[in-house]
Amino acid sequence: MALPIVQPYAYDPPSDTELEFSQEPERVRRQLQDASAWCTCGNCHTMPTEAENVCCQEIPQVVRRINQMPTPPACITSHPGFQVNCLNIYALQNMNNIYRADYGPVRRRTEEERFRFVAYRSIVSWCWDYLVQEFEWSSHHVQSSGFGRSSQILMETMLGSGRLTMCHPWIKP
């Protein structure tokens, strides 16, 4: 005796694909817009990829850190802890020493690249409260502070495939 073949969704009504698509407003790609159209902190810049075009106010972990201030600043780059934890050269030297002791030397060619790597790890560990060794940085934006031209902060949560990015001018050209 042959077993019956199960046909999933055989008794479900067909979906109305026109209704599904008409309910969602057409989203204009951020990389085609001026940053002022989607940025709420006032410091974002339009970046080359869609994943990079995210305001710090859209990242819950960063907003949590911003809201710890009695008078929260509009942008994470205006938070007093940002300069101390992520840009201060002495803090970065110390973070570099800690990283080297835990994982070995940072494999970057120049001192600028090493400190930029440590600065990226620093903001992520500061906002997310943890960091893992395999944390990798992908290309991103940011223009203006002390770690090089057109630098990047791509923050990956390491929780699945989610990519989080901040686009702020904190690296001087």
153 has a pLDDT exceeding 70: no
Please, which pLDDT band fits residue 138 given cuts at 50, 70 and 90? very low
171 has a pLDDT exceeding 70: no
Listed residue (40, 150, 151) closest to 86, CA to CA: 151
13 has a pLDDT exceeding 90: no
20 has a pLDDT exceeding 80: no
pLDDT of res. 25: 55
Question: Is 153:168 a contact under the CB 8 Å cutoff?
Answer: yes
Listed residue (139, 140, 141, 121) closest to 131, CA to CA: 121
Encoded tokens for 54: 């995210």
pLDDT of res. 91: 93
Show the 3-state SS of 98-136. HHHHHHCCCCCCCHHHHHHHHHHHHHHHHHHCCCCCCCC
Average pLDDT (116-143) is 66
47 has a pLDDT exceeding 70: yes
Pick 132 or 32 by higher pLDDT.
Answer: 32
Pick 49 or 152 by higher pLDDT.
Answer: 49
Please, which pLDDT band fits residue 167 given cuts at 50, 70 and 90? very low
Of 1-15, 16-30, 100-114, which range is least confident? 16-30
How would you class 125 by CB atoms within 10 Å of its CB: exposed for 0-12, middle for 13-18, buried for 19 or more?
A: middle
For 60-87, how does the pLDDT look when each residue is reduced to its tens digit (9 = 90+)?
A: 999 999 999 999 999 999 999 999 999 8
State how far the alpha carbon of 18 is from the alpha carbons of 11, 12, 28, in Å.
Answer: 21, 17, 20
CA distance between the termini of the chain: 76
In the chain, where the domains are located: 43-165
pLDDT of res. 49: 80
pLDDT of res. 80: 93
pLDDT of res. 45: 84
